[in-house]
Amino acid sequence: MSIEVENLVKRFDGFTALDGVSLEIREGELVALLGPSGSGKTTLLRIIAGLEFPDTGAILMDGIDASTRHVGARNVGFVFQHYALFRHMTVFENVAFGLRVKPRRLRPAEAEIRARVDRLLDLVQLEGMAKRYPSQLSGGQRQRVALARALAIEPRVLLLDEPFGALDAKVRKDLRRWLRRLHDEMGLTSVFVTHDQEEALELADRVVVMSQGRIEQVGTPEEIYDRPATPFVYEFLGHVNRLPCTVARGRARVWHQEFGLEETAPVEQIGRGLAYVRPEDIEIAVRAPGEEGTRARVLHLSLLGPIVRVELAVPGLADPVEAEIPRARQRELDLRVGQEVLVRARAAKVFTEAA
C-alpha cells in the first residue's frame, strides 16, 4: 500500500511536534524515520496509524484519505518498543488476539486461527513456544511475538516504533536482518522508527531524517550518508570534523587544499565557511624531511577493532581533528603519540555561513 503524508502539522498545547511534514512512501518500501528524541517520529507514526489526528494535513493510503476509514479498517499492524504482551496469556493467545477481537463476520473460524498462528510462530522462529508465557521468553523472543501479533491480522502496512530499542546489540542486529527478510517475503510496506543511524542505514530502502518536527532530508542510505543535505544530517550520522575555511569565487580553501562549492553558495561570495570532513576522510602521511603540507601532531591513538582512531592537533584549530584509519594502514605508518605527520582531507562538504 502506498502512503502519502501531506503537509502535517500537529501541536500539543502550543508546542509544535510536527511542522509541515510531507512524504511519499511507495508500495513495498521499508522506510526508516531517523532522528533524535523529541523530533516527532512517534507522532508521525501514530498519525499514519490513525491513533492520533493532525491539526492540518492528510494521510492518503493507496490514494484514499485515511481519515475516512476507522482505525480497524486501515489494515495496519504496529509494534512498539515496549509492546506490552498480555502477561496472563500464552504466546499462542497473544498472537491470536487480533483475530479473536475482530467483529464476528470478519473473524476466522477457530481452525483457521490455529493454522494462522502456527504459521506465524514458524515464521518468527518460535515454533514450540506456543504454550509459554511472556515471562518465560527472552527480550528478543518477546519482540518476535509482538511482531507475529502485529502480522496476524495480515496487514499491508507495518509500523514499528523503535521495536528493538530495549534489546542488546547482538540481538538487535539479528532481528534487523530478520525483519528485512520478513518485510520482503510478505510484500509489506513498512515504516520503522529509530534513533540509531546504523540501524536505519542498514535496514531501510529510504531514510527520512527528522529534527524538531521537520524533515531534514529524505534519501537512500547511500544518498544520506554520501551527501548529507544539512549540517544537522552530517552531525547526526556520527562524528564529523568541522574545519573553518575561507571561501572565494566558488572555491573553499581547507588546509592546503581547495574544494569546489556546490550550488549552496553564490559563486562570487567571499567569506567564511565550515568544511565538514568525516574521520575516515582524513588522510595521514608520515612527513618526509622538507615536505610541505598541513602539519599535525598525534595526540592520542585508540584501537576500535579493525579501525584505529587518531586524534590530531592541527596548528590554528582549537579542537583536535579526529581521523580513522584501517588497522592495516596503522601497521604501515606505525604512528606514535607526539609524532609529527601531514594531513589531507580526502573529501569535504563546505557549508558557507549565511551572509
Q: Which residues bind Mg ion (CB under 5 A)?
A: 42
Between 42 and 190, CB nearer to Mg ion: 42
DSSP state of 255: T
278 makes contact, choosing from Mg ion, ligand ADP, none, with CB < 5 to 8 Å by partner type, with none
User: What is the closest distance, in whole angstroms, from the C-beta atom of residue 97 to ligand ADP in the complex?
Assistant: 25
Binder of residue 228, out of ligand ADP, Mg ion, none (CB less than 5 to 8 A by kind) = none
Task: Evaluate whether 189 touches 28 at the Cβ level (below 8 Å).
Answer: yes
Partner interacting with residue 12 (select from ligand ADP, Mg ion, none; CB below 5-8 Å by kind): ligand ADP
- Find the angle CA(18)-CA(24)-CA(28) to the nearest 5 degrees: 125
Whole-angstrom Cα distance, residue 108 to residue 97?
Answer: 12
Judged by CB, which is closer to ligand ADP: 212, or 339? 212
Q: Which does 35 bind (CB under 5 to 8 A by kind): Mg ion, ligand ADP, none?
A: ligand ADP
Nearer to ligand ADP among residue 36 and residue 238 (C-beta): 36
- Which residue, chain included where needed, has cell 475516512? 68
Dist. CA 111–CA 96, nearest whole Å? 12
* 129 DSSP assignment: -
155-214 positions binding ligand ADP, by CB under 6 A: none
Burial of 319-354, coded b for 16+ CB within 10 Å and e otherwise, reads: ebbbbbbeeeebeebebeeeeebbbbbeebbbbbee
Residue 53 engages ligand ADP in binding (rule: CB under 6 A)? no
User: Which of ligand ADP, Mg ion, none does residue 274 bind to, with CB < 5 to 8 Å depending on kind?
Assistant: none
The residue (of 21 and 335) whose beta carbon lies closer to ligand ADP is: 21
Q: Which residue, chain included where needed, has cell 530499542?
A: 165
Q: Which ranges of 132-218 would DSSP assign to H, the alpha helix?
A: 139-152, 169-186, 197-203
Burial 42-55 (b: 16+ CB within 10 A, else e): bbbbbbbbbebebe
Contacts of 285 (CB under 8 A, 6+ apart): 293, 333, 341, 342, 343, 344
Closer of 15 and 338 to ligand ADP (Cβ): 15
Smallest distance from ligand ADP to CB 186, Å: 25
Binding mask 12-51 for ligand ADP (x = CB under 6 A): x--x-x-----------------x-xxxxxxx--------
Cβ closer to ligand ADP: 36 or 266? 36
Question: Which is nearer to ligand ADP, 160 or 341 (by Cβ)?
Answer: 160
Q: How far is the CB of 176 from ligand ADP (least distance, A)?
A: 19
Residue 76 three-state SS: strand
HEC per residue, 34-62:
ECCCCCCHHHHHHHHHCCCCCCEEEEEEC
Instruction: Quote the least distance from Cβ 81 to ligand ADP, whole Å.
Output: 10
Q: What are phi and psi of 158, to 5 degrees?
A: -115, 125
Please give the size of the binding site for ligand ADP, defined by CB under 6 A. 11
Number of H helices, E strands in the chain: 9, 20
143 or 352: CB nearest Mg ion: 143
The nearest distance, CB 166 to Mg ion, in angstroms, is 13
The item of ligand ADP, Mg ion, none sharing an interface with residue 38, based on CB under 5 to 8 Å by kind, is ligand ADP
Stretch that binds ligand ADP, among 10-18, 117-125, 217-225, 277-285 (CB under 6 A): 10-18
User: Does 343 participate in binding ligand ADP (rule CB under 6 A)?
Assistant: no
Q: Which residue has the cell 598541513?
A: 294
Nearer to ligand ADP, 162 or 311 (CB): 162
Segment contacting ligand ADP (CB under 6 A): 11-19, 264-272, 319-327, 340-348?
11-19
Footprint on this chain of ligand ADP (rule: CB under 6 A) = 12, 15, 17, 35, 37-43
